[in-house]
Chain A
Amino acid sequence: MRITIRLTATLLTLAASAASAQTTAITGATVHTVGPEGTLDNATIVIENGRIAEVGTGIQVPAGAEVIDASGKIVTPGLFSAMGQLGLTEVSAVSGTNDAVQRGDDFSAGFDVADAYNRRSILIPIARIDGITRALIAPRAGGPDEEGNSSRVLSGLGSVVQLGDSGNYLTRRGAAVVANFGETGSAVAAGSRAAAIQELRTALADALDYRKNKAAYDRGDWREYSVSRADLEALLTVLEGDRSIVFNANRASDIEVIINLASEFSVNTIIVGGAEAWMLADELAAANVSVIIDGTANLPGDFDRMNARLESGGILAAAGVRVAFGAGAQTHQARNITQSAGNAVANGMDWDDALEAITLAPAEMYGVAAEVGSVEAGKAADLVIWAADPLELTSYPEQVLIQGESIPMQSRQTLLRDRYLQTDSGKPPAFRN
């Protein structure tokens, strides 16, 4: 680690109070706040009790603070993985390690993956030493298993988690319901995307009816619904504006349907994939629908993506659409959202918009922007100190802080690296510990 940590504390101040021992100051860095203060040169960030107390230039470092000298470095908010299965999988092809897909009729919207989250997953240190501090962990669609059961149009509930070692890992349980449109939606519905849309409409209508007739339904004195009670409750929260709904969709025509649904039911709507979303940039902006894209996807992998292009991020952001990256770089490769963002910049997106797309934008999409997403007083101190431009692939974090704590910059991969960088031990690698 190239950052020198120097303790300015005197014995006297150390003894002064317990609170001061939890004060940290990062000094001298160029801070991209992604907040109203924009980019600050030679700035100081004061962290108290895991939160940002102050950020700005000319700020006095509090006595007794642990000082991280980040002169010449770049500081950004912690990165936010907008979509994926961190903590819900270890090895994709080892089924026992995978907890993101539920098949059959027991649940759809109400399937909550949060309780399967494994904060000790080996993927998490790998992601966070590359700057990811928060993530949306989501259920996903799954095709038929050996018994012929598929998942449903609604995959279930996703949650926002923090990737630190301590404290409650849940930033927001059930931040979003995940739905599948397009080719995936039609595959898990009755073979037509129209069926997927009808299944969703029916479930939403049922949830509205359930709200009005809960008591009768509870008494068993009401009609059957298309989905279970847990699903109705999950959807009701969406309809009441307390949780977002995420649609996996790429084709422009599907996106048009989603825009209409968003207006009709007044729900906070996010599209993931969005290969052809740029064709509807103005409509998406007007309907306040957010889009999570892949900044490198430019091929017609299927007929839903005939008009995929690298300029999507720039076009959408310029139209005022809230954009995040995370449709391609997910889970094992969540760290590559910086590559996605960098490529979007190379193809016309504003650099600041691109940084926002991997920090504040997803925090806003999932309703946690009061907590994270920018370097602002009062927010959790999720910060990354970069060797150089965070979107450059030759750059890397020198230190990551989650909720004010400097995380160990170590993962299973760095342990392997360190073992095999040694060449002169004279014994097999197993002895190099």
Chain B
Amino acid sequence: MKIPSITVLPLSFLFLLSACEQGADSDGPAPYSSRYEALPSEATILQGATVLTGTGERIDNADVVMDGGKIVAVGPDLDAGSMTVVDASGMWITPGVIDVHSHLGVYPSPQVNAHSDGNEATAPNTAEVWAEHSVWPHDPGFVAALAGGVTALQILPGSANLFGGRGVTLKNVPGQSVQEMKFPGAPHGLKMACGENPKRVYGNRRVAPSTRMGNVAGYRSAWIAADDYRKKQAAAEKGQGEAPMRDLKLETLAGVLDGEILVHNHCYRADEMAVMFDIAKEFGYKIAAFHHGVEAYKVADLLRENDTCAAIWADWYGFKMEAFDGIRENAAILDRAGACTVMHSDDDIGIQRLNQESAKVIGAAANVGIDISPERAVRWFTSNAAKALGIDDVTGSLEPGKMADVTVWSGNPFSVYTKAEQVYIDGALAYDRQNPDVNPVTDFSLGTSALHGGAQ
């Protein structure tokens, strides 16, 4: 990742620091920074489970040791010392589930207009908006997702616009504000959208874009403006001319060109992905992931060569033309080609069972003689998802030193009968199916039977 030098880009560098770092100096935390604090935890050993590490490994009858919020050790017959012991025999342990594409909080339950805060569909380029400023922390969907094993998730703006705004990665812990949920140090995402949505939304208003070529012209024009903005900033740094006035929209786009903000590109069709790669090449940025890549399987090699992840559903198809060619083997073909394959939800129900969505792919692949092992498939919603979000150095796999974001399953996570039994976030027990009294309940759910997102 290209890191901006402070002499070249003072404005955006300071800005990014404030956006991304947990910094707490004498004046308190910087504006918009994460104020996440891990829940209280104790040194814990989970004993005797089948462990899928998220790195492609499976260890039978193994223990997982967590201390100080971190994974300390994974392997058979580890010393329990004076730690809290959890008997996990017969259970399976995976890294916590990570969803790269969620609208929890910005399109929360109940889905009333008053809560509809995910699409700033007032202009095709709204790179200036941040999804985190729409997140309602009391969305019952967060708790339901927790009961599905989800420990981190990216909340994205919707796809009405070419540039929908910044996404935010959260730890799946209840917070009174979004700042208390923000994943410390996680880069922002930029939501971009290909295809039908932007051209429909603006075409219906008789403004650009109304076609796919209009979409592409819109992206390129915006990048030209961002490039110009950066150049003026750089020149001003050298004493050549005045620095441009701060511009939120261009600041976001410049952050992408600086490699600090990751592009998450809603893009269904394979041919459009190929065009988006050309745009990325023209302006020198990288696409972290295509989301909803229903046709990603058609360009699996291209995705691998560009080191771009494909975030997909297992089997959504047919709801619009660009989803016409969806097949259940999409993930199997991508994974076989060595492309970074990610199972995502885009849905408050689907997020609760990304393991099951992956199971569908395993079944479809088996039907054509492709064997996908659990240790391989688990990467789709753990380490590969972490990679797409730029947090794979700190979470997404069960390796010593990483955050102890861990899901304990009642059995093989790819069985429909299996449920998340315990969920640890930074080593703290955030959800325990056998002990519902200690589980979080959102304000909105009080007094209803949907106490734990209906997932008791």
Contacts and interface: CB of A to CB of B under 8 A. Distances in A.
Contact of A396 (B325, B348, B363): B363
B-side binding surface: helix, strand, loop or mixed? loop
Nearest to B445: A300
B415 A392 contact: yes
Interface in A279-333: 279, 296-303, 305-311, 328, 332-333
Interface string A396-421: 10000000000000000100111011
A296 B349 contact: yes
Given A298-B352, A387-B366, A395-B363, 20 more contacts: A91-B320, A93-B320, A94-B320, A279-B449, A299-B140, A300-B444, A301-B111, A301-B348, A306-B448, A306-B450, A309-B449, A309-B456, A335-B315, A339-B356, A339-B416, A346-B416, A392-B359, A393-B356, A393-B363, A394-B414
B231 interface: no
A123 interface: yes
Given A90-B318, A308-B450, A394 B297 contact: no
A202 B448 CA distance: 34
Nearest to B111: A301
B141 interface: yes
A95 to B, nearest CB: 11
A300 B315 contact: no
B368 A300 contact: no
24 contacts: A90-B318, A91-B320, A92-B320, A123-B318, A279-B449, A297-B349, A298-B450, A299-B453, A300-B448, A301-B110, A301-B111, A303-B110, A309-B449, A310-B455, A328-B349, A332-B317, A335-B315, A339-B360, A393-B359, A394-B414, A396-B363, A413-B327, A413-B328, A417-B333
B319 A93 contact: yes
Contact of B416 (A303, A310, A343, A429): A343
B24 interface: no
Contacts of A391: 416-417
Interface string B311-352: 000011111110011111100010001000000000011001
Contacts of A363: none
Contacts of A300: 109-110, 140, 444-445, 448, 450
A335 B417 CA distance: 18
A302 B110 contact: yes
A336 interface: yes
Interface string B191-226: 000001000000000000000000000000000000
A420 B298 CA distance: 6
A135 interface: no
A279 B448 CA distance: 12
Interface residues on A, range: 35 or more
Contacts of A333: 315-316
B112 interface: yes
Interface in A337-362: 338-339, 342-343, 345-346
Given A123-B318, A310-B455, A343-B416, A394 B450 contact: no
Nearest to A90: B318
For the complex of A and B, 3 pairs with smallest distance between CB atoms: A298-B454, A342-B416, A93-B320
A339 B360 CA distance: 9
Nearest to B324: A91
Contacts of A310: 454-456
A418 B328 CA distance: 12
Interface of A: 90-94, 123, 279, 296-303, 305-311, 328, 332-333, 335-336, 338-339, 342-343, 345-346, 387, 391-396, 413, 416-418, 420-421, 423, 429
Contact of B450 (A92, A309, A335): A309
Contact of B417 (A297, A299, A345): A345
Interface in B397-417: 414-417
Interface of B: 109-112, 140-141, 144, 196, 297-298, 315-321, 324-329, 333, 337, 348-349, 352-353, 356, 359-360, 362-364, 366-368, 414-419, 444-445, 448-450, 453-456
Contacts of B317: 332, 413
A258 B15 CA distance: 58
A94 B109 contact: no
A421 B450 contact: no
Nearest to A395: B363
Contacts of B363: 392-396
B328 A307 contact: no
A3 to B, nearest CB: 13
A368 B353 CA distance: 34
A423 B301 CA distance: 10
Contacts of B418: 346
Contacts of A336: 315
A21 to B, nearest CB: 30
Contacts of B349: 296-299, 328
A298 B348 CA distance: 10
A89 to B, nearest CB: 8
A2 to B, nearest CB: 9
A309 to B, nearest CB: 4
Contacts of B454: 298-299, 308-310
Contacts of A339: 356, 360, 416
Contacts of A92: 318-320
Contacts of A302: 110-112
Given A308-B450, A417-B329, A429-B298, A299 B318 contact: no
Nearest to B356: A393
- A302, A338, A417: which has the most chain B beta carbons within 10 Å? A417
A333 B348 CA distance: 17
Contacts of B144: 298-299
A421 B333 contact: yes
Nearest to A346: B417
Given A299-B349, A393-B360, A417 B368 contact: yes
